[in-house]
Amino acid sequence: MQRIVTTPPPSTPTSDGHLSGGWWRDAEKGRILCELCPRECNLKEGDRGFCFVRQNINGEMMLTTYGRSTGFCIDPIEKKPLNHFYPGTSVLSFGTAGCNLGCKFCQNWDISKSREVQRLSEVAMPEAIATAAQHHQCKSVAFTYNDPVIWAEYAIDTAIECHQRDIETIAVTAGYISDEAREEFFSHMSAANIDLKAFTEEFYFNLTYSHIKPVLETLKWLSEFQQTWFEITNLVIPDANDSTDELRELCDWIMEHCGDEVPVHFTAFHPDFKMQDRPRTSHETLLRAYEVARRQGIKYPYVGNVHDVKHQSTFCASCGELLIERDWYKLGVYNLNLNTCSKCSSEIPGCFAPQPGTWGAGRQPIKIRDFVTLELPQNAQEQTPPPSESQKMENTAAIELSSSQEQAIHALACQVVCDEVCASKETRSVAALEGADKEMVMGAFVTLKKNGTLRSCCGVLGQPMKLIHALDQSARRTATSDPRFPPVSPSELPELDVDVSLLHNIQPVTCNAQERHEHIEIGKHGLIIEQSGKRGLLLPVVAVEHQADERAFLEMVCRKAGIPIDAWQSDDASLETFETIVTEGPMPNSCAAQLPSQQACSFINNQSLRQLALMTHQNIDAMLMGATPSYVMPGIPDGNVKGLLYQLTHEDGSTIGVMQFAMNKTVPLHSTLLQNAQNLAGQLSQSHTGASDFVSTSTPSLALLDDPAIHGRLSDESDLSLDTTTRMLVAMDENVLIAAYDSSSDTKSLIDTIRSKLPSTSIEHAQLISFAVNSTTERLHYTRIPKARSFEGPRPPAVAGAFYPGTKEELDRVVEDLIQDAPDTKVTASAVMVPHAGLIYSGQLAADVLGQVDIPETVIIIGPKHTRVGLPWAVSPCSSWSLPGCELQSDTSLAAQLVDGISGLEFDAGAHASEHCIEMELILLAKLAPKTKVVGIAMGNATLQECTTFANELNTVLNALDNKPLLIISSDMHHFGTQEVNNSLDRKAIGAMHSLDPEQLFDTVKTNHISMCGMIPAVIVMQTLLDRGELNQCTEVGYYTSGKITGSYEKVVGYCGLVLN
């Protein structure tokens, strides 16, 4: 009889955070179907859903993060954002790990994609959370950071505890929830902020791996439900969802289905996660969205993530009176009488108290452990009794282990890793531990390394626990759940080294924050830091391996936590030290010997695989003919795979194909094949005049991919050995991808094949991975290398209207203001460095640099590639550069000489199509030297040796010229640190440039993690001048950060202007 579970069944969470989940049913062949969200993940035993936190365990759905939460922090309610829900009050915010969307632009990816212990190790049951909120007099508790829908059971239980204490509850969610679960979930929420990410299915499908319809259904349901106050947020992303038409359609839909009184927040995007190829949302774009909303009838639009008091404040929709003034999250003027305008008495929608809250704009991290009782729910098989007060003191001391016990601990950790990787259920004996399994520790970490490079590291910590439990949990997580890497493959086990670290003596560093470095002992202490809900941990060995001193180690742990690197000096950052007992060694041969022999994606046999390949072939043909494709093939099993490669081989030997894979998640086979068929049909219709004939005379191949394994850099792999009968080898570098599978070949031949196909600029950077493969053919090669785009006309402006005014009149006025103080007497320069941010930010400094130098008849601008589009080292082939109202000519002859003379440099319009680093310098050049000719070079990644070679060859080209061009380095300095951090890091980079040593600049930027985007161009230009004997002086024209313009110093970008002679 089929089991159908709706609301969660009564159950008690286990000590490792597992709770019987709701909203699922039995499916075929022992699988279960999750019905919490529209993904409906079909899970076999042991499978986790797309969200990662829901898992099929023993044939039942389990939530695996119950009571396991990310750092807790008290925020202003306006930060959620909720502007009409008890303004000025404080809200206790927390979340867990995982997400049921796959947003490429995720602004909280370090949390939502996290599987690290730091994100899971805080134990907080619902009662403790409610107690903490009550203790700190918080008006509400917010389920945020990641989407609470995926941990609905935990959120609902916490909401019930909060409501019993008159504490409101808030869900910050994308609204991607099923019809079956929607009412039960939101009925426990006092308020919600729904993230309506865009208003096209294309956006949702391509950028979030989801669909828009369920989100719209949630908004309509909330509007009808009328018991949960809700507001809407739209993250406005340049060139993705910011068109005026889409904004208008979004607002029209809200008006029709939600009404004109729902507050709508248009917030600014910043480049993050997998979408760092776009600029930040301009203030002007947000204001355009605001005005569109007002014109369409929405009464309460707001802008966010920018400083704009007027457009973040609330005005009466009837009389226009300023009701609630907001300066960021701090309230000013307040003219409400409960929920009515104090001037005209019109009712304002929302939830308001007689008086506004007085929390202000601050954030206050709290230690939830202060509100957690030690007696946690236990399961029958894993019981660690709560320690007594005397035990807690004793457990801070190191345990004493004999040599044989240390060896046994290491062997057991290796066995747990191996069992988890190989899905073995063998019973393990702890007899060899000689009683050490019962010793109490403060935590444990298991670290896997390959050839000295980190492969995976996870752990548990935070309270006294039995050694055996700490070891088991940390080893299991290390094997499969480190979010930085895919799960360890069985094929990797023989190559791994294993370190076990047992933690003890966790101690707070209670001295003056400025003196904390004096209390750190390198090699002895590990560090834990926490600030504003973000937490980082580094083991003692990390400082030793990186040869870091105390200050550098503190900066490293701040970087790990995702907080400013000087945060360790702040009083609001808590710092703890700990010590470790370490055992280390290679993975024993006995563990590696148990490697399973199994076919990739074994749910489908070879005959079914061939039928799927044929069906996809037929679907492509149908799509080209305008016919309806087959969406499913009856009798062919569906399932989740790590990836697939589908390819058509024409009778003339040419191929066209598509390869898609995910290292840390799976994709549904049938729907992914259908999507790939659509992509190939689109490619064929654009690239082949006889597309249908091409398909009809081609042979299809299909390979399913499973079990990814990481092998390191191609340039480092000399002794890699794979079972080439079952595994495909893949090399990746940015937008370059080469795959090779040949069951009759050996590993060395596959590597040689890949190396021969890689562009020269990728040889040093390409990473090797492999997949277990189930293929219709015994030999399959796939190549994805960006092709150069030719272009002979003027290159149109890419960022006009965003980075600078889009009209000639306004641009002329702004530029004239910038250059009005330029000196009449110019200096001769070999090279200059100028910033390339928006004109309002760095335009004055750029004008100060370019305005003082003599600009010759030709300039070569070398800047960084900010996008992955196009070739890695690209010269623009355009004939001229268009700007509003004018054009600058290209020096096409010199450009051709550079392409001929510099290895790896190619013509490509694609790399320049949306790049701003050269365009921003042209604006000033057009006024200062309108007749000068321009060569634009966009540079991707490069090693120091590649920079040196590039410079040597550039010098050779320059030596052949009669007239020397000016070399312009286009670069901003460090990005998004605090003012203090930027000043410190930028001064290190600028100091390296003053040293006149390009190698020192390269090493300084790399070692200190300085995000100076034009470091590669700067090294190339400095080395070129060094080769020419022209690098004798570096003069600083000016330095400041974006904080000078915005008045906000929490996240700034540095700008520096230099003249090199």
111 confidence band (pLDDT: 50, 70, 90): very low
- The CATH number that applies at residue 802 is 3.40.830.10
For residue 394, the model assigns a pLDDT of 43
Indicate whether 113 pLDDT > 90: no
- The CATH number that applies at residue 317 is 3.20.20.70
For residue 120, the model assigns a pLDDT of 43
For residue 502, the model assigns a pLDDT of 95
Contact between 809 and 894 under an 8 Å Cβ cutoff? The reply is no
Indicate whether 108 pLDDT > 60: no
Task: Establish if 386 belongs to a structural domain.
Answer: no
On average, the pLDDT of the chain sits at 89
Which whole number is the average pLDDT over 699-722?
89
For residue 396, the model assigns a pLDDT of 53
What is the tens place of the pLDDT at every residue in 964-977? Answer: 999 999 999 999 88
Task: Establish if 598 belongs to a structural domain.
Answer: no
Strand-pairing partners, residue 336, are 341
- Same domain (yes/no): 314, 405: no
Task: Establish if 890 belongs to a structural domain.
Answer: yes
Among 532, 559, 592, the domain boundary falls at 592
Query: Which amino acid, one-letter code, is at 627?
Result: A
112 confidence band (pLDDT: 50, 70, 90): very low
What is the tens place of the pLDDT at every residue in 20-52? Answer: 999 999 988 889 999 999 989 988 888 888 888
Task: Establish if 385 belongs to a structural domain.
Answer: no
For residue 598, the model assigns a pLDDT of 56
Among 25, 45, 63, the domain boundary falls at 63
Contacts of 338 (CB under 8 A, 6+ apart): 352, 353, 354
- Same domain (yes/no): 344, 414: no
Indicate whether 138 pLDDT > 60: yes
Contacts of 104 (CB under 8 A, 6+ apart): 207, 208, 273, 274, 275
Task: Establish if 930 belongs to a structural domain.
Answer: yes
For residue 886, the model assigns a pLDDT of 95
Global confidence as pTM: 0.66
Which whole number is the average pLDDT over 175-195?
94
What is the tens place of the pLDDT at every residue in 488-498? Answer: 998 899 889 99
What is the tens place of the pLDDT at every residue in 632-643? Answer: 677 788 888 899
Closest CA to 866 of 827, 912, 798: 912
- Same domain (yes/no): 814, 725: no
- Same domain (yes/no): 52, 77: no
For the chain, give the longest Cα–Cα distance: 91
For residue 375, the model assigns a pLDDT of 33
Closest CA to 461 of 420, 394, 506: 506
Task: Establish if 376 belongs to a structural domain.
Answer: no
Indicate whether 387 pLDDT > 50: no
Which whole number is the average pLDDT over 760-780?
93
Among 38, 63, 88, the domain boundary falls at 63
Indicate whether 181 pLDDT > 80: yes
Indicate whether 864 pLDDT > 90: yes
What is the tens place of the pLDDT at every residue in 461-481? Answer: 867 888 998 999 899 989 988
Q: What total of structural domains would you count in the chain?
A: 5
Per-residue tokens: 534? 């973000």
From CA 837, how far away is CA 974, in angstroms rounded? 12
Range picked from 114-118, 379-383, 928-932 for highest mean pLDDT: 928-932
From CA 795, how far away is CA 916, in angstroms rounded? 12
Q: How far is CA 64 from CA 18, 67, 482, 1019, in A?
A: 4, 9, 15, 49
What is the tens place of the pLDDT at every residue in 281-335? Answer: 888 899 999 999 999 999 999 999 888 899 999 999 999 999 999 988 889 999 9
- The CATH number that applies at residue 528 is 3.30.1490.150
Distance, C-alpha 967 to centroid of its chain: 34
Indicate whether 382 pLDDT > 60: no
Query: Which amino acid, one-letter code, is at 1050?
Result: E
Task: Establish if 373 belongs to a structural domain.
Answer: no
Contact between 329 and 78 under an 8 Å Cβ cutoff? The reply is yes
- Same domain (yes/no): 102, 54: no
Residue 783: φ, ψ to 5°: -130, 130
The DSSP code sequence of 277-341 is SSPPPPHHHHHHHHHHHHHHT-S-EEEESS--HHHHSEE-TTT--EEEEEETTEEEEE-EETTEE
Q: Which domain holds residue 780?
A: 606-784
Better-predicted residue by pLDDT, 378 or 166: 166
How many CB atoms within 10 Å of residue 374? 14
- Same domain (yes/no): 774, 677: yes
Which whole number is the average pLDDT over 259-264?
95
- Same domain (yes/no): 1003, 929: yes
Where in 786-918 does DSSP place strands (E)? Answer: 794-795, 831-834, 858-864, 873-875, 880-883, 886-889, 906-907
Contact between 766 and 783 under an 8 Å Cβ cutoff? The reply is no
What is the tens place of the pLDDT at every residue in 430-455? Answer: 788 888 888 889 999 999 998 888 99
- % of residues, the chain, pLDDT over 70: 94
- Same domain (yes/no): 501, 644: no
Distance, C-alpha 68 to centroid of its chain: 22
What is the tens place of the pLDDT at every residue in 959-1018? Answer: 999 999 999 999 999 998 889 999 999 999 999 999 999 999 999 999 999 999 999 999
Indicate whether 393 pLDDT > 60: no
Distance, C-alpha 526 to centroid of its chain: 26
Whether omega for the bond prior to residue 81 falls within 30 degrees of 0, making it cis, is yes
- Same domain (yes/no): 730, 581: no
DSSP H/E element including 985: helix 979-994
Alpha-carbon dihedral 504, 476, 536, 507, rounded to 10 degrees? -10
From CA 249, how far away is CA 292, in angstroms rounded? 10
Contacts of 168 (CB under 8 A, 6+ apart): 85, 86, 139, 140, 141, 162, 190, 191
For residue 919, the model assigns a pLDDT of 97
Contacts of 305 (CB under 8 A, 6+ apart): 267, 268, 269, 270, 281
Closest CA to 179 of 231, 228, 216, 226: 216
Residue whose token pair is 């690098």: 1031
3 state SS of 768: strand
- Same domain (yes/no): 59, 73: no
For residue 370, the model assigns a pLDDT of 72
Closest CA to 931 of 889, 960, 965: 889
Task: Establish if 162 belongs to a structural domain.
Answer: yes
What is the tens place of the pLDDT at every residue in 522-564? Answer: 999 999 999 877 889 999 999 999 999 999 999 999 999 888 8
- Same domain (yes/no): 55, 120: no
From CA 96, how far away is CA 148, in angstroms rounded? 8
- Same domain (yes/no): 352, 478: no
10 confidence band (pLDDT: 50, 70, 90): confident
Q: How far is CA 1051 from CA 71, 556, 564, 972, 1043, in A?
A: 21, 18, 9, 14, 8
